Structure 1
């Protein structure tokens, strides 16, 4: 991933387009504005390599179509292998900032967005498990799918897993925000990078400090990832921090030039 590009893009926005963060501008933003102006570039810069395909704009996954579920997601992150879809790894919904019912974005909409993502991800979990029947029963609960909910400048990350027969568990993993002022830029970008790394860890690498098992289906040539020993919670504050430390320390150089 190109974390330096993510860092520089956010920095340049504050230098070249500070009006984007003014109160007057933020009052006028639609959900699509948040996708185009802010989060779209950040997600595309982070998940830029050919291991992922990002689908934006009310698309429906293949598993949902096969099950006649017309859940249109604002963002789907698909894990790829040799230019072929392996699994719909992440579903995300975008909304304006959560506000009381008498404003444009209501808690009801946010709840419905989250419910749609959970039901869509449940379909993806079931589809994934049915495609890899060789997984031992004890390992099924270690298959974890991330869910992302974007609300204005804020992002919340959840995970969904099947822990027992017909029993699914939704966990709150992490949250971060797009830095909206120059003084919070360095700390805010550290949170953004760690949050995106949290999503990626579930898609590919497994939880922090753990090694994923790469299994190959006997019925299919597609390679899939299964996580061992999923911990009850994830502290992403230290997630791959050493890897990003030099990038964050270079912020002072860029901000002075």
Structure 2
């Protein structure tokens, strides 16, 4: 046993000495050959050696252009360096450190956290606020659907504080059903958005009356209780007439050959179907993750990381496939709460995640009109998914046109902006699925090799 320990110690010391010798050689070469290919090659070798030596200092240098006051390193360099430093101890760390690893090794900066949670701890409070101010989430523009609020006023005005809860429920329900009959999209498709908002109000009313356990802290409801009894019917109706399909229940993302496999299973995939060589091909345009009510910080952070990694995989696939879609929206559900999240490919090797809307559905009848904001945000989320679908459809149509044309000897070149974005893409890292699963190695292209 001592012999094995001595051998490991000697090997570690030997690796350190090699790293030191290489650093000396790098310094000597840099003086004589500054700016040449030789020094760039030496710099690369040194960085690899530093990664191989477990106890060696790890310093990632990324080429994103995002900085904070009083720090010389870029934000991408900071989050990746810390993630690499902590990776091997993943199972022995708390949920904040695990989020730092999972996000950093996927080149993601999640700006939705409040200080001092997750990646915010890599900066001081002032620096974190600076990042949030300069990278504010892009909220949906709701004006397009503001007219629906006026149409639904008879529902909201039906509430009378002088009446009992049962009397108010009946009055609200009668008005909602009456408006639903007047705005049937199966008869007039132009009323589909009005119909969805009425449907959302009816789902809330039905949940309040028939599924009170969804709102109770004493009832043990599972995540699928919330999906099957509430969010499922709402999201299914949301995507009627959209040309998109929802696929529920722990299925894998469609990766094709553009990026490495990701073993994460997704609770909800919003899918665009296409035909390739007579076979149906699924392509995600959005995803959602679901959990029970008050899942705790560990589960909440885990799901937030998961949905951002899934969104990154979707963006990577589009960009590497030659389709200029550099951001996607996703949903995170926790019981009767819902969070709207955006993931952007921001710069060289850096993706940013932001939360642009949050809503909680409660059992109160006297403020049903507040859920109009939720309904309109859901409509905008659907519109973004449809927009991505249309962009990708046009891309596929153009690609098919090139393949059929025998007069074109070469495919259409990718424009410079998209070609540049393809160099921004970085590898994906899968968090260990169980406590017995060893942390995977870093992605092979975690950082840019040369600039």
TM range (shorter): 0.5 to 0.7
Does the CA contact (< 8 Å) of 1:146 and 1:202 recur in 2? yes
Which residue number corresponds to residue 223 of structure 2?
Answer: 31
1:31·1:95 contact (CA, 8 Å) conserved in 2?
yes
Please state whether the residue corresponding to 2:293 is helix, strand or coil. Answer: coil
For residues 319 and 338 of structure 2, the distance between their equivalents in structure 1, rounded to whole angstroms, comes to: 28
- Identify unmatched segments of 5+ residues in structure 2: 1-191, 402-451
CA distance in 1, matches of 2:305, 2:244: 24
Pair 45,160 (structure 1): closer, same or farther in 2 beyond 3 Å: same
1:90 and 2:286 equivalent? yes
TM superposition score normalised by structure 1: 0.67
What corresponds to 1:250 in structure 2?
Answer: none
State the Cα distance separating 1:91 from its structure 2 match. 1.4
Q: Given the superposition, is the C-alpha separation of residues 153 and 47 from structure 1 closer, same or farther in structure 2, using an over 3 Å criterion?
A: same
Structure 2 distance, partners of 1:171, 1:24, is: 30
Deviation of 1:117 after TM superposition, in Å, equals 1.2
**Which has the larger strand fraction?**
1
The TM-score normalised by the length of structure 2 is 0.40
SS in structure 2 at match of 1:182: coil
C-alpha distance in structure 2 between counterparts of 1:172 and 1:12, whole Å:
25
In structure 2, C-alpha distance between the alignment counterparts of 1:76 and 1:193, rounded to whole Å: 20
Q: 1:31 to 1:213 in 2, by over 3 A?
A: closer
Residue correspondences, number: 203
Distance 2:204 2:300 in 1: 28
Taking structure 1 as reference, are residues 177 and 24 closer, same or farther at Cα in structure 2, changes over 3 Å only?
closer
Q: Structure 1 CA distance, aligned partners of 2:335 and 2:356?
A: 19
1:158 alignment partner, SS class:
strand
Instruction: Tell whether the 8 Å contact from 1:155 to 1:177 is kept in structure 2 after alignment.
Output: yes
Deviation at 1:194, TM superposition (A): 1.4
Unaligned runs of 5+ in 1: 99-104, 136-141, 207-211, 222-257
3-state SS of the aligned residue for 1:119? helix
Instruction: Tell me the C-alpha RMSD between the 2 structures.
Output: 3.2
Looking at structure 2, the residues matched to 129 and 51 of structure 1 have their Cα atoms a distance apart, in angstroms, of 22
Which position in structure 1 is the counterpart of 2:395? 216
Structure 2 Cα separation of the partners of residues 153 and 213 of structure 1: 32
Q: CA deviation at 1:3?
A: 4.5
Distance in 2 between residues matched to 1:85 and 1:116, nearest whole Å:
23
Aligned 8 A contact 2:207 2:229 in 1: no
CA distance, structure 1, for counterparts of residue 204 and residue 225 of structure 2:
14
Greater share of residues in helix: 2
Tell me, in whole angstroms, the C-alpha distance in 2 between the residues paired with 1:205 and 1:40: 22
Partner of 2:263: 70
Q: CA deviation at 1:202?
A: 2.1
Q: How does 1:1-257 map to 2 (within 5 A)?
A: 1=192, 3-5=194-196, 7-8=198-199, 10-11=201-202, 14=205, 18-21=209-212, 24=216, 27-63=219-255, 67-80=260-273, 85=281, 87-98=283-294, 105-132=295-322, 135=324, 143-188=326-371, 190-205=372-387, 215-217=394-396, 218-220=398-400
